[in-house]
Amino acid sequence: MSGGVSAQQALSDREQRVLGIIETARGKRARFRDEQITMAHGAGGRATQTLIEALLEPALHNDALAALGDAGLVSAGAARLALSTDAYVVRPLRFPGGSIGELAVNGTVNDLAVSGARPLALSLSLILEEGLPAQQLRDEVQAIAAAAAAADVQVVTGDTKVVERGHADGMYICTSGIGLCDERAQLSPASLRPGDRVLLSGSVGEHGTAIMLARGEFDLDAEVVSDTGPLWPAVDALLEAVGADLRCMRDPTRGGVASVLNELARASSVAIVVREAAVPVLPAVAGAAELLGIDPMYVACEGRLVAFVAARAVPRALSALRGVAGCELACEIGEVRAQPPGMVLVETSFGRRVMDQLVGDPLPRIC
């Protein structure tokens, strides 16, 4: 990427028009106009964002929630805590590389980790469908136990409900987690500055692709294994290596890396420019994404980290990340620029395009 020429200057007339349309649409205050809930409201893209910003957040308004991070911050005496929650409705329950139980631990642990909080404890709520084979429940409880042990966190409380046959898909799981905010972390989604770099801890899209392949919905000979795993070791290494030069982190789950970049570009009123060729994508993931007509940048990961760091910290950050198991492919994929604010651009071998928020739900129930 050449320095010196700003993205704004280099935009063509056509790009300027596209950006103008997007900016106009975004400038309007979000309103929730839908009369019914659709699958898109759970997909992590624009519909989810509207549901959160126009319906949930105004009704429940408070500062912690308004920050809309992956976890809410809570003070308890002298301790600064993070609280995070996720419901898991992945289908099928088991897939190459993981299962709903494992995901329920890693997903919540990772929301704490990317918020700069060391996971302390988890809660576990099960919604079971009448008729669920007991062995499937045993398997998932074992998966939960193993994932919790691997993430060095304990499940300290739980609840079990049962609904009649046909009113759930085997089981839904909700985990919540408490984490202790790390003193080395000074993170904020509004802290991105022009010149900051975008790092990625590994290849993208394996989790979402593994789920779609496991459903047998398209005929592809590849086996793709979910990247699900705990992120605290990577976060811990990054914090130790670069401290306050770490601006913000996210785990690119629903909506993938593209959604995370859009969220943060808006929150910091900056542009983010990504070099497509720099993003590691496994051939099987690229192939499946092409069949599905979706950019791998929108496909969910469950064990990857997107981190924004000051330019001077890049060598230290990459070296630290690459020393963590599972992060050997960590790389720089782009940078933050001033213009156009709130936009994500991708540079490809064919030129440059806007990488907007996800609309619709091409990959339902992947977590």
Q: Which of residues 212-251 bind a copy of itself (CB under 8 A)?
A: none
Q: Are strands 246-250 and 306-309 parallel, antiparallel or unpaired?
A: antiparallel
Of 3, 4, 166, 293, the one binding a copy of itself (CB under 8 A) is 166
SS3 195: coil
**76: which strand partners?**
79
**Residue 31 or 193: which CB sits closer to a copy of itself?**
31
Question: Closest distance between a copy of itself and the C-beta of residue 36, in Å?
Answer: 5
286 binds a copy of itself (CB under 8 A): no
Give the DSSP per-residue string, 246-278: EEEEE---TTHHHHHHHHHHHHHT-EEEEEGGG
Extended strands (E) in 182-245: 197-200
Residue position matching structure tokens 């496909």: 299
Give the residue from 257, 346, 252 showing the smallest Cα distance to 297: 257
- Residues 81-110 touching a copy of itself, rule: CB under 8 A, are 81, 83-89
**Residue 10 or 66: which CB sits closer to a copy of itself?**
66
Of 159, 217, 240, 290, the one binding a copy of itself (CB under 8 A) is 159
- Residues 65-84 touching a copy of itself, rule: CB under 8 A, are 65, 69-74, 76-79, 81, 83-84
Could you give the CA distance from residue 1 to residue 4 in angstroms, rounded to a whole number?
A: 10
Residue position matching structure tokens 């994929």: 333
Q: Dihedrals φ, ψ of 97, to 5°? A: 95, -10
Instruction: Say how many residues touch a copy of itself, by CB under 8 A.
Output: 83
**Residue 129 or 236: which CB sits closer to a copy of itself?**
129
Residue 323 burial by Cβ neighbours in a 10 Å radius (0-12, 13-18, 19+): middle
121 binds a copy of itself (CB under 8 A): yes
- Residues 289-318 touching a copy of itself, rule: CB under 8 A, are none
150 binds a copy of itself (CB under 8 A): no
Of 22, 30, 52, 310, the one binding a copy of itself (CB under 8 A) is 52
134 binds a copy of itself (CB under 8 A): yes
